[in-house]
Structure formats: C-alpha cells, structure tokens
Structure 1
C-alpha cells in the first residue's frame, strides 16, 4: 500500500515538473492572443506599385511610425493603394537595411520588417539617422576625416558635464526578473564610458526611470501590437525607458523570446544620447531577433566618446 502511494506521489510530482513554466522565459502576452503582430506584413509578399491589397494601409501605418512615410492627403494615408509615395518609402527602408532598393515587398524586406525592433523612429523630421555621415575626428593638432555609422538625436542633446554620475530606478510595474539584466546593462556602459550609474529606491527621485507598459501609456509613442515594438527611450535629459509589456521577455538566449539585457543596452544608449546605427553588429542597430544576444560594439563606444568629446 505504501509503495502505491509513493508511486502516485511520484507521478503527480513528475506532471508538475513537466507543466511548470520555464524560469528563463517570461511571457507577458495574453494567453488568448494567437496572431503575430506581423501577420499583415507577411500577407503583402510580392506587392509593388499599382497593387491594391487589403493590408497595404497597415503597411503605411508601420512605415509612418518609423519615419519613412508622410502623406499630406489623409485619403492616401488610409487607403490600400500601393502608390509612388509608398514605393519611395520602401526603397528608403531597403537602403537603410542594406537591401536592394526595388520598392517591392520581397522576402528580404518582409524578413526585416517582421524582426522586433526599437520604437525610436529611423527618420525624424526628414533626417535619416540610419545613413552613414561624415565626421571630423581630432587626433593631436590635425583633423581626421572619417565616415561614422552611429548617430545622435536632433540637436545632439547630451548630459551636462556635471551629470556623469546618473541614478536610475524601477517603477513598481517592473517584474523582479527584469531588474538584474537592466543593472548588468548599466554596468557594461559604465565600464566603457565616463559615466557611472547607481540604483535608487522606487520612492526616490532619479535621473533615469525604467517601466513596463502596454498600448497608449501617456507619452508621445504608444506601443502598438501591429509593429512588434520592443521598447523605447528618450534623448537626454528626459530619462524615460519603457519596455513593451506585451512582448515575450527572457533572461538570456531563449528561442522566441527577447533578451532583457540586450534591449536595455540599446535603450540606455538612447538615454545617453545615441540614436540608431547602420552597423548590424552594433547595439544601437534598431532590430533584435528572438533568442539573439548582443553586446556593446566599437561603433557604440566611438559614438558616445565623440558626443561627449572624450
């Protein structure tokens, strides 16, 4: 009798182990959600100028969000016509992501557009931050003319010299498992720049604030389930860094989930004044696939040093 009870308890324990959620990946997406945020893009495979397809208006919303498209006519912005303006914006997108600028929704373009990304636009007020630009790097008394791939926000905002030590805090809506990855990201930036960082308590004032949000959360950039936005952060000295709570987050590389630390490294770069980089290996590249881990790159460090003249 005791042996049978032992077998029953062992069986129940085994079932519990098999059904328990993984400790590595944290899913914040509602369990009833089955569709991918990119379903509308995948349906547009092969579309080109002259087409009229049901999901084209959603593609226009996507490209407008990231700065590639702007219509003066509301009808053009909301209809499903693949017009000259849309073709031109797709060509610019393709050039930014090193794709042959055909203006056609080909496989490579769809693959890029369906990769989760930062919510900070690539183009702002007509300035394309994904394009390499010439800069003069000083070396001794002579200037060295070089092409850089990093970029800065409009007006090159930065923290004043008196604010090389920055404090950060987590809002109450940040899950406990996300805090250590963010702290490690701050330490990596600290070890590679002149900045130092220290965590403040939730109820204290701080220079930087990290939170998790869904949808329209009171800033100028609401999260949208259709575009796969991971997070966004604002230029100095705003200090706000927001994760999209509807994404699947992980600590480390987990297939189908996004690494918290890698995204934190990217968004902290924005908090310090970096915009996006056209170097795919750089942490300031706008996209990050599921299961992917990245670290600081020479382009990122060079950008911070150039911005702060160090």
Structure 2
C-alpha cells in the first residue's frame, strides 16, 4: 500500500521541531502550517503546497530531483522526468520514496534515544510545537553554520557530528548514503544516531573497539547496542 502523509507530520515535527535546541534557528512557522492540509494525501494526487514540502525535504537531503539515484526511474529518462516534478504539487514516486525514508528516520531516532534512556536518568519525549527543545537533529551539507572547522566534507571522512551540553545539535552529513539496512556503500542511520546522542549527552570518544562511542564506524557496519563501557561512562558522568 502506498504511504500517505498522515504519519509524515509526526516524523517531520520530530526531525525539525520536537528536539530542537533553544539556541538553534527555528524553521518558519509557515513550515508547519503548510503541512497541515497535506495530511492524508497520497501518491498520484496533485495537492497545493506539495512543492513546499519538496523544498524542505530536498534542503535536508531527502530529495534530489536533479540526479538519477532515486531507484524509481531508468537512467535514460530519470533526469528529465525528475526536473519536471521538482517544483510542482504532484505526489510522485520520488516524493513517496522520501516520505518512506522520513517515517523510517523517526523510528530510528526513537530507538536510539531509548537505548540511552534505559541506562541513565534521562527521559526523552517529543515536544509539542512551540515548546522549548534541547536537542536538534537534521541533515546538512558542507559549511552549514556550525563554524568552518565543523563543515561537512561530502561522502567519506566525517559522516555526522554532535555537540555536547548545552548546545545539543546532532547533524547527519546529507551527502552520505544512509540506510537502516546498509549495504557495502551505505552507513547505518541508527548506529550513528546512538553514537551522536552519546555526544549530545556529554560523552567523548572511547578507545574500546566494541563501544558505541568508539570514534569510527565503517560502511555497512551495524553497531546499535551500548557496551558495558558506554553504560559505565554515562553513569559515571552523571553520578552526582
């Protein structure tokens, strides 16, 4: 069954609102308003405002109408077909693929936060629109406002970064190929989420190869569970 946008609202707000830092620039309120009337629409429909959703998703790395790497079109026709839909209000195949990915991301982030909640005094919850937020999760490219030294470098090298309390920013590099079931050229969304949330909570890197907080994760590798070393680290850090 083709996905509709009924669940997209919650996923979208999780990514850009629910855990947004107080010190991070807020998305415009207009962004939330245009989403409201999109609820329930599905592939094949033309609905006023979908072009704005496409712009948001493209900005944060979920859509790229200018390439052929969208898994839905043949290489010979993809670019022309994609560009025709980049700025229209048609719920097309590529938007469907992006929506599925964003629902997926909500589950990934929820599971990652739960792992730290289970072993610490912290609790995490989605904040309602307009409420104070402590953590922001997003996808960015290149120099994205975190300072020149924290600019992303495209595919390879740095795949994500996060900042310790009280800044609380967690950014994926949108130029990487992300997946919840990675192949040899992809990075696991959840493994990185668990690691970066550790940084958001104040943990540094760990020299234990089995630890979530070990500094490196290779393509295709799945490492989602906290080690005894990770658990000891978070408990010692907040022992007082």
Residues 27 and 248 in structure 1, CA contact (< 8 A), matched pair in contact too: no
Q: In structure 2, what is the Cα distance between the partners aligned to 1:32 and 1:241?
A: 29
Q: Alpha-carbon deviation of 1:31?
A: 4.5
Q: How many residue pairs align between the two structures?
A: 145
Q: Alpha-carbon deviation of 1:227?
A: 4.9
Match of 2:175 in 1: 246
Q: Alpha-carbon deviation of 1:288?
A: 0.8
Match of 1:309 in 2: 239
Query: Residue 32 and residue 259 in structure 1: after superposition, are their counterparts in 2 closer, same or farther (change >3 A)?
Result: same
Secondary structure of residue in 2 paired with 1:241: strand
Q: TM-score, normalised on structure 1?
A: 0.43
Larger relative strand fraction: 1
Q: Alpha-carbon deviation of 1:252?
A: 3.0
Query: Residue 276 and residue 251 in structure 1: after superposition, are their counterparts in 2 closer, same or farther (change >3 A)?
Result: same
Larger relative helix fraction: 2
Residues 283 and 300 in structure 1, CA contact (< 8 A), matched pair in contact too: yes
Q: Alpha-carbon deviation of 1:199?
A: 1.3
1:68-94 Cα shifts (integer Å, max 9, x gaps): xxxxxxxxxxxxxxxxxxxxxxxxxxx
Q: Alpha-carbon deviation of 1:179?
A: 1.7
Segment of structure 1 superposing worse, 201-210 or 230-239: 201-210
1:239-283 Cα shifts (integer Å, max 9, x gaps): 111010100000134332111111000000001110100111100
Match of 2:201 in 1: 272
Match of 1:233 in 2: 162
Unaligned runs of 5+ in 1: 1-25, 34-173
2:216 is the counterpart of 1:284: no
Q: In structure 1, what is the Cα distance between the partners aligned to 2:156 and 2:222?
A: 21
1:177-205 Cα shifts (integer Å, max 9, x gaps): 32210110001111111111101246543
Q: Alpha-carbon deviation of 1:226?
A: 6.7
Residues 27 and 247 in structure 1, CA contact (< 8 A), matched pair in contact too: no
Q: Of residues 191, 206, 211 in structure 2, which corresponds to 1:262? A: 191
